[in-house]
Structure 1
Amino acid sequence: MLYGIAAATAALLLTAVLAAALRLPALRASILDRRRQRPLPLLGGLAVVIVTCLVAWTGEWTRIAPLGDGVGRLLWAAAGLAALGLVADVWRLRARVLAAGTAAAAVCVVPYDETGLPGGVLAVGWIVLATVAFKGLDHADGLAGTVGVVTAFGAGACAAAEVMDGLAVLLSVVAAALTGFLMHNWPPARIGLGACGSLFTGFVLSSAVVLTRAGYEIGPSAAVVFCLGAVAAADALLVVLSRGLARRPLLRRGPDHLAHRLRRAGLTPQGSVVLLGAGSFSAVLVGVLVHTGWTGERAVCWVAGTAVLAVLVLLLIPVPHPRRAVPSQVRGPLRVRKG
């Protein structure tokens, strides 16, 4: 208990300091997110990854808080995925490459002896979808970090209920590191999470839920994992419906996510993050109560219904479509046909 508090405190402070220190190198190296109104440096996620791995492996090395084989393997896979995300922040990798890397990492962490082969395949698919959906939450300042903190606490409570102490400590460290990062990412942000941090966080959270629910029936497990990822799932559903109805490419970026539409509805950037954070807290709380048996699975229907209703309402809010790039060069002079 005391080590968990000390580890979380150290993770919070170290991440806050390291994120501030990495801002200037990111600006000088032009590791920026240029989708926003202003270029945003993207090495904040690297600070989260470094501090989380450092604090977690310190507990493992000193044997004060051993992670265990499954959790240690999860952390190694997440670190490898974070490295791929860092490459994407620098050189702009395609989304399919990131999805393939996430799938390869997920294959390494699923406990097939408890899930079985069919359940393991479903678990890999869930981890990939949840990680990609969480990465999509990095479209607004403070949103991915806020939802990540809430989800980490919820997943940590589920892990503690299963007496998975190593996993619970890791999730508390992740929550603390994200809190330190939020000191610089709260709107208006001074540094961003980037693919490095968003892939790492989404992968750790989704994999932790799979490890926690391993051995349970698929139906109740699906209810719990949906609640813990409800906001990311709603955002992904909104984007898919919006771009499908507009006949736009699914992977083309655009201002059609949850926070974008809430801002067009009149909310401030801070207000939209607080509202979505409150929605995440409510859904995660239901998931924890279902996991621990304090409430039945029917409570998940309220979460799903609310998420679908919110998506349908926000779908009615018009958003501007990104314009296609205009060719910078004209191949030849314009000729007018006579006659």
Structure 2
Amino acid sequence: MREYLLVILTGIAVTYLLVSPVKSLAIAMGAQAAVRDRDVHKVPTPRIGGLAMFGGLLGALVMARALPHMTQVFIETKTANAVILSGALIVLLGIADDLWDIDALTKLAGQIAASGILIMNGVQLSALPRLDGGSLALSPVYGVPLTVFIVVATINAVNFIDGLDGLAAGVVGIAAFALFLLGYRLAEVVDIPLLIGPAMIAAVLVGICAGFLAHNFHPARIFMGDTGSMLIGLLLSAATIQLIALFDTAIAEKYLIFPLWLPLLLVPMVTVVPFADMLLAVWRRTNQGLSPFAPDKQHLHHRLLRLGHSHRRSVLIMYGWVGLVGACMVAMSFVPPDPPTWQALVLFITLCVAALGAALMVGVPRIIARRAFQAEVEAAAAGPGDRTRQHA
């Protein structure tokens, strides 16, 4: 655990320190986000902050390579090569998009190419867990396109939620931390070395998200841009895929309930809000005869602002949802294969209370705003004479 902490702290420090020079570079290159109708920022803000995150990734991996035990991960796998090469490609693609707004098909081609680099370096789904236990082996005919789909979908889901200050970095950081805990727990229970590739990627991702968030939380002084959102989406999907491929289902099922369903479902569950937001956006735009990539101001974070939440509170609500789901998924890794009834009951009650709390967080400001508006309407209808008599 100490080596993981060193990797996380290195990612935080390097990313945090690189943001200032990257910000100056962005201003010099003219890579600034202009104020548009669908945006929530009020002044032009430098972007390509993802370049600092990529520097944090490299710094954290250099630290990991220098550590006496974690260096074994580099010897036994191509994990570092996979994330560095694919990450470099996705960062170059993101910089081009942040500077010149490249078309959607070009970005998609670049994302598929980055997925191919991961696959060539061993980050690929080779099996899936079955509902009745055991695993289903996947030939490359099925494993390769499924891997590409997961990577591309995760990249674009993260990109879709990058609309409020600190939202994407915080959500992905929380998801990565949950994935790290889950990988560490699985390795501990199955009795394999605790220093594993997917947990290392997740730890690096936690560090670079935390380091960037210090500059990106509202009011943001720099944006990660597509350079950063695509990079962290790529890393999140790579850690998930490698974690699924690492464990033998037959062994893991002796100790845990749904052992390999947990990492497989963690990212979709944690990012269920951005994934749902992405699907609704595609449906909404195509239903209106627009391109699925056409921008609008109907994303979930925009709706939270219209409900009456402040910018920071909207972001914290999203953090709360993601943290809750991630905590529940990690907690499931502590449930034995044959859980007693009371454990299932406690889990059910926890989820119900959490759902109620989320509904209240979203709904209460709307009710308050509606009542305030109704009071203003009634006061206006009463007229100045009636208001004077009421005060008298």
> 1:171: which partner in 2?
202
Cα deviation 1:184-216 (Å, max 9, x = unaligned) = 111111100111111110011012111112265
Matches within 5 A, 1:29-40: 29-34=29-34, 35=36, 36=39, 37-40=42-45
CA contact (8 A) 2:61 2:80 kept: no
The number of aligned residues is 307
Alpha-carbon distance in structure 2 between the residues aligned to 1:89 and 1:158: 34
Deviation at 1:292, TM superposition (A): 5.7
Task: Give unpaired runs (5+ residues) of structure 1.
Answer: 318-339
Q: Counterpart in 2 of 1:23?
A: 23
1:260 and 2:302 aligned: yes
| Aligned residue among 239, 248, 259 for 2:281 | 239
One of 190, 193, 196 as aligned partner of 2:221:
190
- Look up the equivalent residue of 2:70 and give its one-letter code: A
Partner of 2:138 in structure 1? 116
Comparing 210-219 with 93-102, greater Cα deviation is found at 210-219
Does the C-alpha gap of structure 1 residues 222 and 17 become closer, same or farther in structure 2, counting only changes over 3 Å? closer
2:372 maps to what in 1? none
SS at match of 2:138: helix
Residue identity matched to 1:234: A
- Secondary structure (helix, strand or coil) at the match of 2:162 reads helix
Instruction: Please state how far the C-alpha of 1:233 moved relative to its aligned partner.
Output: 1.0
On the 8 A contact 1:230/1:283 being kept in 2, the answer is: no
The Cα of 1:13 is off from its aligned counterpart by 2.1
Q: Does the 8 Å contact 2:165/2:220 carry over to 1?
A: yes
1:180 corresponds to 2:211: yes
Q: Which moved more, 1:155-164 or 1:287-296?
A: 287-296
Larger mean Cα displacement after TM superposition, 261-270 or 110-119:
110-119
**Structure 2 matches for 1:1-339, cutoff 5 A?**
1-34=1-34, 35=36, 36=39, 37-60=42-65, 64-66=69-71, 67-68=73-74, 69-76=77-84, 77-107=86-116, 108-109=118-119, 110-114=123-127, 116-117=138-139, 118-163=142-187, 165=195, 166-214=197-245, 222-290=264-332, 293=335
Displacement of 1:123:
2.6
How far off is 1:116 after superposition? 1.8
State the distance in 2 between where 1:190 and 1:29 align.
Answer: 16
CA deviations 1:158-190 (Å, max 9, x no partner) are 221343623323322221221111111111111
Amino acid in structure 2 at the alignment position of 1:213: I
Look up the equivalent residue of 1:135 and give its one-letter code: N
The letter of the residue matching 2:112 is A
Give how far 1:270 is off. Answer: 0.3
- Shift of the 175–4 alpha-carbon distance from structure 1 to 2, 3 Å rule, reads same
In 1: Cα distance, 2:67 partner to 2:96 partner: 32
Counterpart residue identity of residue 15, structure 1: T
Aligned amino acid, residue 71 of structure 1: T
Deviates more, 1:112-121 or 1:40-49: 112-121
Which is worse superposed, 151-160 or 30-39? Answer: 30-39
Matching residue of 2:339: none
Aligned to 1:254, the other structure's residue is in SS state coil
Counterpart CA distance in 2 for 1:230 and 1:70 is 30
In 1, are the aligned partners of 2:8 and 2:204 still within 8 Å (CA)?
Answer: yes
The range that moved more, 105-114 or 154-163, is 105-114
Displacement of 1:269 in angstroms is 0.6
1:22, distance to aligned residue in structure 2 (A): 1.8
CA distance in 2, matches of 1:290, 1:210: 19
Structure 2's unaligned 5+ residue stretches are 128-136, 188-193, 250-257, 337-342, 367-392
- 1:139 aligns to what SS in structure 2? coil
Question: AA paired with 2:6?
Answer: A
TM-score w.r.t. the length of structure 2 is 0.70
TM-score (norm 1): 0.80
CA contact under 8 A between 2:10 and 2:63: conserved in structure 1? Answer: no
